[in-house]
Amino acid sequence: TPHTPTPLKLPADSTYTLGGKVQDNKQPPQALAGVTVRIKGATSGTITDANGNFTIQARQGEILVFSQIGYKNKEYTVTGNAAHLAIALEEDVATLDEAVVVGYGAQKKADLTGAVSTIDYTKELENRPITNASQALGGKVSGVWVSQNSGSPGGDGATLRVRGFGTLNNTNPLVLVDGVEGRLAELNPNDIASMTVLKDAASAAIYGSRAANGVILVTTKQGSYNSAPQLSYNGYVGIQKLGRHYDLIDNSVEFMNLWNTAVQNNGGDPLFPGEVIDAFKNGKDPYLYPNTNFFDEVFRTAPITEHNLSVRGGSEKQNYYLSANYLGQQGIIRRTGAKRYGLNFSLNTQLVHWLEIGGQVQATRKVTDEPYTADNTSQGISRITYIMSNGGYPFTPPYTRDGRLGATQAVYLSGPNKGQPIVDSRNPLADVKNGLSRYVNSYLKGSLNATVHLAPGLTFKSVYAGQFNNNRNDKYNQLIYVYTDGGIQTKTLDFPTTINNIRASTEEFYWVFYNTLNYERSFGQKHHINVIAGTQSEDRQVKTTSVQKSDPPKDGLHEVDAGTTNPLASGNTTEWRMLSYFGRINYNFNERYLLEANLRADASSRFRAGNRWGLFPSFSAGWRISEENFMKDVRFINQLKLRASWGRLGNQDIEAIAGNYPYLVTIAQNYGTSYNLGGQLVPGAAITTLVDQDITWETTESSDLGLDLGVLDNHLYLEFDYFNKLTKNILVQLPVPLVLGGVTPPVENVGRMRNKGFEISATYQSDSYQKDWSYDIGANVTYVTNQVVTFQDGKSPDQLYLIREGYSYKSLYGYKAVGIYQSDEEAKEHMANNGFTPVAGDLKYEDLNGDGKLDYQDKQVLGNTIPKLTYGLNIGVTYKNWNLNITGQGIADASAYTQNAWTAPLGISGGSITKRWKDAWTPENKSTTLPRIVINDTWNRYESSFWITDISFLKIKNIQLTYNLPEKWLSGIGLKSAACYLNWQNAYTFVSNKYEGFDPERDTFTDGGGQYPTPTIATFGVNVQF
């Protein structure tokens, strides 16, 4: 029988008197009046007086609960009499009166006039085993489109877009971590306290020239004064599996027959002799007659685990936060994986009553491994998916019967070539096993800040932060052979024969120094102002080095020094700097009328002196209608606020197209412009890039009209925003005629683009008083239409991802496939004047101008790649200790171009075939939507609507079931709280069954062929607080 502990006998007079003061955790602390103090489980209690003082009677072991709207509950366990308890309440960011982090400060959410969304990151994270902070935003915030385009361990950050694509250039929002520009990938998600998205110009204008794509403010966790040490552990273990993928023909006989058909359709003779096909039909030996599906071989079920330990707390004069983090993630593609180690320490000290200083050190090391990839420029597994999609034939066994890598088993059975392979070997496992490419990312950030209280309401703050970021890639390759069952050794397609030992390093140092002066004061009862002014300077320097040598004398020598030939070195420095002045005024009349104005002036080194300065103003106003006297009787409305804003923002993030000196006429001198004479290199130089010396900022003008509404005792909260963003002077490289000799076009301020739409978010939080269960539902919808307003006088070049006046940015453009020619005559008649005459079974394209030939004049817009509608849905249900949480995310009205080596049968020189091609057109199978399958096909592979699919989807992003362990279990073992959960991420996606490919949550500006598919992940985790 279980042992039942004997209840501790308390003396009869064990009622104690407790008293003390409740304050907030700000510096200096402010007394909190009206805080409810009650005994847990009982109805009795008291409230604090105007000075924050209270007294209450309680028994040994009882728990006092301090609660106040806008603050997190605090508990205190009674151990004896206490007259001077110091209770510090922490602000709760999840409530309506929350303080929202805004640019260079914080504001009460009720007083906001801009379009700002916040998520309480702690809450989101507890529900999700996310590996990159960016993923947590998915489906949670209106106006923000989150798309995780890759499942590559260590490289699985999501793409974030705030209110559409604002420019033709970099559209990544500016990310500020505790006020300092940073990257979400470098953060330990567990260290984040909250994230705020500044969506409109009014809220973002304080960041001026870099805010046009929206701003994401990340606040990391800090300790709080006067709070006991709190030790937390959370961690999870899980498995990841490949989700949706290409459905390949893995039957060798079917495959060979289709290939033969494809060759015959091109006027050739069959490639695979009938006797070979028959042998596969009848053969049973899996090594001689394999039917391989390389998805089963290249992909695997991979483990993932994360552990996070943190401690936070503070005394009267100091607070601290310390965390350690480990993430280990193996990839679902074999031999890929990443490990991340993180440390974070922050300390704040109240030095004297007018001066607080603080600092933070954050260190992250990330090690990402993958097989060697010949491509120097991209991190990825492109070669493996390349070989799989352009080969990976079912008649190639992954391994031979003696465990070596397999070569093609389709060999001639007779004739002069008896025993010889019919096609070459393409075993993707050779690339999977090839060498190693290891990326080590070392990140170190240190920051110091000082806050000086100069006078009542007047505060000076100074922040310096430096970030060091080193990305090093070490890689080497090996010679790996594949073998036929007969033992013939060959190589797989294009397998490198030179052994290279390579080290490439990118070292970045960034520093920023900013100073702000803040004055906050109330005049009389009704006027409240808050003014901030500041300066900022920053500098980012990136140094790249790459060295390489080839042909080490022995296996296993992977250092560059071991190489004996072809020494190669390159190195460069790029740098940009910025200088800024900014200011903001808030005026609040009687908590009803809110006004705000921002101004920022920025100068960037990326522009010529004289064009450097940009001025970015914004204005906004709010009217809290619900505070008006005439609304007092309207009981069902708790909150009602109207907001309006206008502002101008800038963008100078053009490094990708123009580098850091886009105004400078340079003459390229490199190997690519040099020649050699008599066996000697003679350096040559040429103008390879045209320049517009007068380029300057892109500017975005943005207006916003918003409505916040809280009804049903604030259970239902609605936010509605209409926005209209116009970006002018977009920096673009317009294609220039080839008669200029293929020079890189100049970067010019030419384009205009508009994004307008609306966003709605609604949350409903049920009542939980006296009930065992509660629920909450959140939904958000964003509708954005994008239009290129001005671009090259409407005469932009024809291209698949069209950028043209009047159309959505990167609309899909090409021929419209209207059917399949059912006879040669039909084709000949339709394409009477075309240089090439298609035949029966070929796609029929719409001849727009009816001239009997197909050329650029017949191309048309076929779909938009930017989703017009994005939405998210969150449902949470709590029953007693159980909690179920579901997050959904989706897009609608978007298309994707899907022609790649997977979907196009037989790739370019032989390749995979998806199962749908079994229904390809033949004279016997005319009622199909698929054209005939032809080798060396050009006609059917023109960029056309045939290769475009609707990519609207709804994804069940996350399902989590949590069990909070009952307190009575925990108190005995010294735990404050403990929860365990089961989580299923990327659980299921609803998408058109015409869509071929991996996860439809992907980049729609590519064909999706080289995508590292996002896995579906199941985890078990625990959260414990000591």
Q: Near another protein by CB under 8 A, which window of 101-109, 260-268, 719-727, 842-850?
A: 260-268
Contact between 495 and another protein per CB under 8 A: yes
Minimal distance, residue 452 CB to another protein, in Å = 21
User: What are phi and psi for residue 423, nearest 5 degrees?
Assistant: -130, 170
Minimal distance, residue 422 CB to another protein, in Å = 9
Distance CA 338, CA 366 (A): 7
Distance CA 949, CA 551 (A): 47
143 Cβ neighbours under 8 A, 6+ residues apart? 115, 117, 162, 163, 197, 199, 721, 723, 759, 782
Contact between 671 and another protein per CB under 8 A: yes
Minimal distance, residue 531 CB to another protein, in Å = 22
Q: Which is nearer to another protein, 92 or 494 (CB)?
A: 494
Question: Interaction with another protein in 527-566: which residues (CB under 8 A)?
Answer: 535, 537, 566
Contact between 684 and another protein per CB under 8 A: yes
Distance CA 727, CA 663 (A): 21
Q: Which is nearer to another protein, 10 or 665 (CB)?
A: 665
∠ CA 281-284-290, rounded to 5° = 80
Question: Interaction with another protein in 466-485: which residues (CB under 8 A)?
Answer: none
- Candidate residues 28, 34, 61, 268; the one interacting with another protein per rule CB under 8 A: 268
Q: Which is nearer to another protein, 41 or 416 (CB)?
A: 416
626 Cβ neighbours under 8 A, 6+ residues apart? 634, 637, 638, 639, 640, 641, 710
DSSP for 204-267, written as a single string? HGGGGGG-TT-EEEEEE----TTEEEEEEEEEEEEEEEE-S---B---HHHHHHHHHHHHHHTT
Beta strands 82-89; 15-24: pairing state: parallel
Q: Near another protein by CB under 8 A, which window of 58-66, 184-192, 588-596, 683-691?
A: 683-691
Minimal distance, residue 578 CB to another protein, in Å = 8
651 to 670: interface string for another protein, x by CB under 8 A? ---------xx--xxxxxx-
Distance CA 141, CA 120 (A): 11
767 to 806: interface string for another protein, x by CB under 8 A? ----------------------------x-xx--------
- Candidate residues 28, 683, 923, 966; the one interacting with another protein per rule CB under 8 A: 683
Which is nearest to 606 in space by CA: 509, 700, 543, 691? 691
Query: What would the two tokens of residue 596 be?
Result: 């705000």
Contact between 678 and another protein per CB under 8 A: yes
User: What are phi and psi for residue 536, nearest 5 degrees?
Assistant: -150, 140
End-to-end Cα separation, the chain, in angstroms: 29
- Candidate residues 170, 257, 574, 766; the one interacting with another protein per rule CB under 8 A: 574
Note the residue count of the chain.
1026
Distance CA 400, CA 673 (A): 48
* Three-class DSSP category at 361: strand
Minimal distance, residue 205 CB to another protein, in Å = 21
- Candidate residues 343, 910, 1005, 1006; the one interacting with another protein per rule CB under 8 A: 910
Question: Interaction with another protein in 927-966: which residues (CB under 8 A)?
Answer: 935-936, 938
Question: Interaction with another protein in 710-769: which residues (CB under 8 A)?
Answer: 735-743, 745-746
Contact between 568 and another protein per CB under 8 A: yes
Which is nearest to 202 in space by CA: 785, 700, 756? 700
Contact between 270 and another protein per CB under 8 A: yes
- Candidate residues 5, 856, 968, 974; the one interacting with another protein per rule CB under 8 A: 856
Minimal distance, residue 681 CB to another protein, in Å = 6
Q: Near another protein by CB under 8 A, which window of 129-137, 266-274, 874-882, 918-926?
A: 266-274
Q: Near another protein by CB under 8 A, which window of 20-28, 38-46, 117-125, 905-913?
A: 905-913
- Candidate residues 69, 352, 361, 908; the one interacting with another protein per rule CB under 8 A: 908
Which is nearest to 211 in space by CA: 247, 259, 183, 176? 176
Minimal distance, residue 601 CB to another protein, in Å = 12
Q: Which is nearer to another protein, 524 or 742 (CB)?
A: 742
Contact between 336 and another protein per CB under 8 A: no
- Candidate residues 309, 450, 595, 687; the one interacting with another protein per rule CB under 8 A: 687
∠ CA 369-370-375, rounded to 5° = 125
Q: Which is nearer to another protein, 39 or 374 (CB)?
A: 374
Minimal distance, residue 777 CB to another protein, in Å = 50
Q: Near another protein by CB under 8 A, which window of 436-444, 446-454, 640-648, 675-683?
A: 675-683
Which is nearest to 757 in space by CA: 703, 822, 719, 811? 703
Question: Interaction with another protein in 193-212: which residues (CB under 8 A)?
Answer: none
Minimal distance, residue 760 CB to another protein, in Å = 42
The radius of gyration computed from the CA coordinates of the chain, to the nearest angstrom, equals: 32
Distance CA 362, CA 343 (A): 6
Q: Which is nearer to another protein, 704 or 937 (CB)?
A: 937
Q: Tokens 């504001």 label which residue?
A: 107
∠ CA 470-471-475, rounded to 5° = 140
Contact between 377 and another protein per CB under 8 A: no
Question: Interaction with another protein in 380-439: which residues (CB under 8 A)?
Answer: 415-417, 420, 423-424
Minimal distance, residue 673 CB to another protein, in Å = 5
Which is nearest to 753 in space by CA: 735, 731, 721, 782? 731
Minimal distance, residue 68 CB to another protein, in Å = 44
Q: Which is nearer to another protein, 489 or 992 (CB)?
A: 489
Q: Tokens 């001239």 label which residue?
A: 851
Contact between 879 and another protein per CB under 8 A: no
- Candidate residues 674, 768, 823, 925; the one interacting with another protein per rule CB under 8 A: 674
Question: Interaction with another protein in 598-617: which residues (CB under 8 A)?
Answer: 603-605, 609, 612
- Candidate residues 42, 634, 685, 832; the one interacting with another protein per rule CB under 8 A: 685
Minimal distance, residue 662 CB to another protein, in Å = 11
User: What are phi and psi for residue 848, nearest 5 degrees?
Assistant: -55, -45
Rounded (10°) angle between helices 274-282 and 252-265 = 160
Q: Tokens 């040669």 label which residue?
A: 824
Q: Which is nearer to another protein, 160 or 422 (CB)?
A: 422
Minimal distance, residue 602 CB to another protein, in Å = 11
Distance CA 382, CA 385 (A): 5
- Candidate residues 508, 627, 655, 855; the one interacting with another protein per rule CB under 8 A: 855
Minimal distance, residue 903 CB to another protein, in Å = 16
Q: Which is nearer to another protein, 838 or 872 (CB)?
A: 838
Size of the site for another protein (CB under 8 A): 87
Minimal distance, residue 119 CB to another protein, in Å = 35
Which is nearest to 475 in space by CA: 429, 505, 435, 440? 435
Question: Residue 580 in contact with residue 536, Cβ under 8 Å?
Answer: yes
Distance CA 175, CA 170 (A): 13
Question: Interaction with another protein in 498-517: which residues (CB under 8 A)?
Answer: 498
Q: Which is nearer to another protein, 579 or 711 (CB)?
A: 579
Instruction: Return the DSSP state at 281.
Output: H
Distance CA 372, CA 336 (A): 10
Q: Near another protein by CB under 8 A, which window of 202-210, 294-302, 487-495, 639-647?
A: 487-495
Which is nearest to 827 in space by CA: 921, 919, 914, 947? 921
Cα dist. 481→166, 296, 427, 431, 554 in Å? 49, 21, 10, 10, 17
